[in-house]
A and B are shown apart, each in its own frame.
Chain A
Amino acid sequence: MSVDREDIEKLGELARIDISDENAKSSVKSINDVLALVEQLQAADTANIEPLANPLEARQRLRPDEVSETNRREEFQAIAPATEEGLYLVPKVIE
């Protein structure tokens, strides 16, 4: 499996990474190198093997439904790029 410039641009759109002209070529090459490495997986026989998502195969612990957090808006927003009236500001959202 390999990708071309157009594929990389599509991925860039999904992942919100700008694939600019200067480095698009090297991106395509290095990503194809990685995909070639990854391609080795295809040779392995994995029929009937259950995927392993988490190494310990433990089960989820549940948290009691008790409020443990207090309002720390001021601290959190002190490190934000832009806020006003307690809101985070971002360029206009157009749906």
Chain B
Amino acid sequence: MTWETVIGLEVHTQLATKTKIFSGASTAFGAEPNTQACAIDLAMPGTLPVLNAEAVRMAVMFGVAIDAEIGLISAFERKNYFYPDLPKGYQTTQLEKPIVLEGKVDIQLDDGRTKTVRIHHAHLEEDAGKSLHEDFHGMSGIDLNRAGTPLIEIVSEPDMSSPEEAVAFAKKLHALVVSIGICDGEMAQGSMRFDVNVSVRKKGEALGTRTETKNLNSFRFMERAIEQEVERQIDLLEDGGSVVQETRLYDGDTHTARSMRSKEEANDYRYFPCPDLLPVEIDQAYVDAVRASLPELPEARRARFVESYGLSAYDAGVLSDEPATATYFEAVAGQCGDAKLAANWVMGELAARLNSEDQLIQHCPVSAEQLAALIARIVDKTISNKMAREVFSAMWAGEGEPDTIIEARGLKQVSDSGAIEGMVDEVIANSSKQVENYRQADESKRPKMLGYFVGQIMKASKGQANPQQVNEVLLQKLNALL
């Protein structure tokens, strides 16, 4: 029996504004509890919201980036429910008239195909605070610093049919919002959070009952949660049971999800237009201006990397997705003069190092200028690739500029052909036995025998002889003796 999986995503994306959506309190991450919760954020009596212009601009920016229709008149509504992290007893959000209407996002699948995921809409809303469940004498602690942080909730159509597609879509959105500068993309800080709607059905049948799993803030959690949920639903159905429409909460510590509430006992949110806020009206000129200010999108950048740097589509994709990586790569490529070598280094040595030390490229201890200078020394044959890796490690450790390190460690490669010939002659002269063996040996065995000579020459040159040149000269001289 084949089952089909149907997945839709709701993505809560914190906008990178300086202040809250409805108040002038800072949104900076990591402040002491409640030090960034002003009277408005605390829902003190008599306080009123005023909309942040930048939140509107960023939402529109997202809309134009996914080629969506923009709601020229959008409106805020109140979604009523009681929860300690929701000070007003309602969330101010958009329902009937969201600011971003239908749009689309293309994702690249592993088999090279491109799939379009439709965006149903994206709306502006405020984030809630946080409940801290450490035990305060049987009480919970509430921190409202996050309350009122602007969000866009991006709602996709149920267009994805596997966990991998869902992750590809999530990653694509992540790269997009970071590229256009409307979100810092810091997943660990909750800047982007996913709710996934999952259902399964037999091929050709109508849509099955879906569940919503909330609170997923990493791609890995999301993938696991979807896999588990699909399995759970199929098991239920194959055992003759049925799926209950419910909200499930994923626990990142135990990697399990549990039911929060079923739809029957769900809240009646009693939405109605927020009377403290008026309809938001923007005109086409505003939208056009935002569109004109749109930075290069990852897709366009990838095409450009293939075109102007001659990279493979794969390499271009890796380097263009994250704007910080793209910027870094372009700086290196531009300054070192060898784009392919630059790509190899950024995707290879640098990426591995960043990965193993769990470091973001934004905070990389080796600057693009330094890496470019290092690569330039490979290009001009001052050092070998192997030496370069040693220099890179030293740079990472903060030992300074590549030339200084090369100098200090005496790593200059000897490429002077006279000097190399001298060394080769000397080693051949001192290795008569090995030379004799080489001559006697079968032709197929000879290449393996070169290692000894090369080793001796490198030893004599203290590792600084250009290995390529050594190989060439050695081969030439030994063959002359045949």
Given known A-B contacts A14-B268, A82-B139, A85-B141, A67 and B35 have beta carbons under 8 A apart: no
Residues of B within 8 A of A82 (CB): 139
B141 touches which one: A14, A66, A72, A89 (CB < 8 A)? Answer: A89
Name the contact of B26 in the complex, choosing from A62, A67, A73 (C-beta under 8 A).
A67
A66 to chain B, nearest CB (A): 7
- Measured between beta carbons, the chain A residues less than 8 angstroms from B443 are none
The reply on B32 being an interface residue by CB < 8 A is yes
Chain B contacts for A21, CB-based, 8 A: none
A91 to B131, CA, bound (A): 11
Q: Are B19 and A68 neighbours in the complex by a CB distance under 8 Å?
A: yes
Interface residues of chain B: helix, strand, loop or mixed (majority): loop
Could you tell me the distance between the alpha carbons of A95 and B138 in the complex, rounded to whole angstroms?
15
Given contacts A14-B268, A14-B270, A93-B84, whether A76 and B34 have CB atoms under 8 Å apart is yes
Which residues of B are at the interface with A, using a C-beta cutoff of 8 A?
17-19, 23-26, 32-39, 42, 44, 50-56, 80, 82-84, 131-133, 136, 138-144, 249, 260, 267-268, 270, 273, 275, 277-281
- Residue contact B50 to A63, C-beta cutoff 8 Å: yes
Determine whether the beta carbon of A88 is less than 8 Å from that of B142.
yes
Chain B residues with Cβ below 8 Å from A65 are 17-19, 52-55
User: 5 A-B residue contacts at CB 8 Å?
Assistant: A65-B53, A69-B24, A86-B33, A89-B136, A91-B139
On chain A, the residues within 8 Å of B42 by CB distance are 76
Question: B275 contacts A53, CB within 8 Å?
Answer: yes
Interface residues of A in 21-73 (CB under 8 A from B): 53-54, 58-69, 71-73
In the complex, the chain A residue whose C-beta lies closest to that of B17 is A65
In the complex, what residue of chain B is closest to A10 when comparing beta carbons? B268
Write the nearest CB–CB distance from B30 to chain A, whole angstroms: 14
For the complex of A and B, the 6 pairs showing the least CB-CB separation, nearest first, are A68-B24, A87-B141, A65-B54, A62-B53, A69-B38, A86-B33
Contacts A59-B281, A62-B52 hold; do A90 and B139 have CB atoms under 8 A apart?
Answer: yes
